[in-house]
Amino acid sequence: MKLKNSRPSRSWRRIAVILFVATLLAGASRAGSLREPDISETPEMAAFAKEARQLCDEVYPKILNLMAEDPAKLPQQFDLIFRHDQAEPGLTAGTKIYLSSDWFTKHPNDLGALVHEMAHVAQQYAPGAPGHWTEGIADYVRYTLGYTNGWSYPHCSAEFPHYTSGYWCTSAFLMYVEATYGTKVIRRFNEALRQGSYSDAFFAQATGKGIDTLWADFQKTAAYQPSAAAAFKAQALRAQKDKDACTGHLLEIEKAIRAYEKDNHALPNWLSDLVPKYIADTNVLVCPVTQRTGKTANFGIVDPGLPNVYLYEFSASKIPWGADGGDGGPTMKEYKLRQKELVGVGVPLIRCHLHEPVLNLSFNGRIYESPLGWEGMFTNAVVHLEDLYPNRIFPQGKD
């Protein structure tokens, strides 16, 4: 049957527009916080990745609301990438979370570790933010949302005895501050760290008490266990001893690298290239902290020749969270040589992340301490922080 008027009425057009907008909004809500998990390297993690996606989409919006007055200012989505050969359970770089398939195969119920990494996505702190606050606030988020277990809960003990220790002791201190002075203090604290305006004076301005007074008050609570005080004193002495020994290792490695460079007219691709001709004792390649505790921090850069803990910045490894994210992209050596062109010989040659602040050996053989993000120490009116990032140096991958 032929209709007399085939053009839709104005009311039907209005309904169509409403339905179209509703469809778009529904699609946006289905998109969720987590983009498609990457299990290309670890297909056996498919079931866990599905569970992780549900958790991320449920919990991440709560994290945003917990950490900011205006959650829209924080990253709204992130990536989850599963990897073999990653010592740490989780690592976060920007809006990419890297999870160890080995860890979560053995500990499938450790969802709190994933919540901790999601908090790192939301933080996006300015360079120079103290590492103990970064890790402490991530645990504060984890515990506030209820992800505790028998060993991971907010308290200060022999393992983490001080608010500068990070993780659950720092989180316990922050939860005390929040319970005493309100949630806005922690949100303002987050904002100061994101803007790069934080100093310890923040606490006096926000609460009327300096950080030392707040810490003394906190030590009277049940969350501060008796073992913490003695442990902190012992740890401070041990940390200095470790740092001194580590400094000696780094300087010895630097001497070996220069000898290798003289003989081969190039930097080694790996620290293992120095063994045995330039370094006979491989213990030199291991920080005393690792020798004592077993802790490592290689951030996905694995020397194929031998296990090591020191992060050799000029290695032949692909940039772990690199510009193009795939095979054939820039190497760390190419990346660091470009950074060196921009900021000079202060670029770290080797880093040890087992100290706070991080211990660095510069390209010209100087030892210095820095935050996790050393780049902020070398920026100025000419070279901006973003100029030193992989996606700015390699906008279309390797030149």
Q: What is the pLDDT of residues 313-334, one digit of tens each?
A: 999 998 875 433 444 578 999 9
pLDDT at 381 over 80: no
Alpha helices in the chain (DSSP H): 10-31, 46-67, 101-106, 111-123, 131-144, 167-181, 183-195, 201-207, 211-218, 227-264, 288-293, 332-343, 390-393
Q: Is residue 123 part of a domain?
A: yes
Of 21-35, 237-251, 280-294, the one with minimum mean pLDDT is 21-35
Letter string b/e over residues 318-352, b meaning 16 or more CB atoms within 10 A of that residue's CB? bbbbbbbbeeebbbbbbbbbbbbebbeebbbbbbb
- Quick one: 382 and 251 in the same domain? yes
d(CA 291, CA 286): 7
CB 349 within 8 A of CB 313: yes
Residue 23 lies in a domain: no
Residues 207 and 350 in one domain: no
Query: Looking at residue 254, what is its pLDDT?
Result: 98
Same domain, 64 and 137: yes
- The answer to whether residue 162 sits within a structural domain is no
- What pLDDT score was predicted for residue 232? 92
Looking at the structure, tell me whether residues 253 and 318 fall in a common domain: yes
Mean pLDDT of 203-230: 96
- Is-contact 294 328, C-beta < 8 A? no
Predicted confidence (pLDDT) at residue 14 exceeds the cutoff of 90:
no
Distance separating alpha carbons of residues 93 and 299, to the nearest angstrom: 10
Q: Quickly state the pLDDT bin for 379 (edges 50, 70, 90).
A: confident
The strand pair at 311-312 and 358-362 is best described as: unpaired
- Start-to-end CA distance of the chain, whole Å, equals 65
Residues 245 and 188 in one domain: no
Could you give the C-alpha distances from 199 to 130, 188, 204, 205, in angstroms and in order?
10, 12, 10, 10
Is residue 391 very low, low, confident or very high in pLDDT (cuts 50, 70, 90)? Answer: confident
Same domain, 179 and 301: no
Query: For 381-391, what is the mean pLDDT?
Result: 86
Higher pLDDT, 149 or 285: 285
Residue 102: pLDDT band (50, 70, 90) is very high
Mean pLDDT, to the nearest integer, of 89-111? 94
pLDDT of residue 31: 58
At residue 7, the pLDDT reads 42
One domain for residues 212 and 277: no
Q: In the prediction, which pLDDT does 80 show?
A: 97
Q: How far apart are CA 374 and CA 372, in angstroms?
A: 6
Measured CA to CA in angstroms, residue 307 lies from 46, 87, 284, 396 at distances of 29, 11, 12, 32
pLDDT in tens, 42-60: 999 999 999 999 999 999 9
* pLDDT of amino acid 13: 46
Rounded mean pLDDT of 145-174?
A: 91
More confident residue, 4 or 55: 55
pTM above 0.85, yes or no: no
pLDDT of residue 373: 83
Is residue 227 situated within a structural domain?
Answer: no
Scan for tokens 């989850």, then name that residue. 80
d(CA 103, CA 110): 9
Most confident range (mean pLDDT) of 72-81, 318-327, 385-394 is 72-81
Give the chain's count of helices (H) and strands (E).
13, 7
Let me know whether 49 and 175 are in one domain. Answer: yes
Domain span including residue 363: 234-393
Is residue 129 assigned to a domain? yes
Say how many domains are in the chain.
2
Q: Are residues 201 and 241 in the same domain?
A: no
Return the pLDDT at 397: 52
- Give the tens place of pLDDT for each residue, 324-377: 344 457 899 999 999 999 999 999 999 999 998 899 999 999 999 998 889 888
Q: Say which DSSP state 126 is in.
A: P
pLDDT of res. 5? 36
Q: Which residue, 192, 218, 244, sits at the end of a domain?
A: 218
Are residues 185 and 282 located together in one domain of the fold? no
Query: Within a domain: residue 5?
Result: no
Please check whether residue 309 lies inside any domain of the structure: yes
Output the six-digit token pair for 361: 């050996």
The answer as to whether 18 is a domain residue is: no
Q: Are residues 36 and 181 in the same domain?
A: yes
Same structural domain, 105 and 176: yes
pLDDT value at position 396?
A: 67
Q: What is the pLDDT of residues 220-250, one digit of tens each?
A: 999 999 999 999 999 889 999 999 999 999 9
Give me the mean pLDDT over the 101-123 stretch: 95
Tell me the pLDDT of the chain averaged across its residues: 88
Q: Tell me how far apart the alpha carbons of residues 340 and 180 are, in angstroms, rounded to a whole number.
A: 47
> Of 63, 39, 165, 176, which is closest to residue 112 (Cα–Cα)?
63
- For the cut 70, the answer to whether the pLDDT of residue 142 exceeds it is yes
- Using an 8 Å Cβ cutoff, are 271 and 285 in contact? yes
Percent of the chain with pLDDT over 70: 88
Residue 371: per-residue pLDDT: 83
**What percent of the chain has pLDDT above 90?**
70
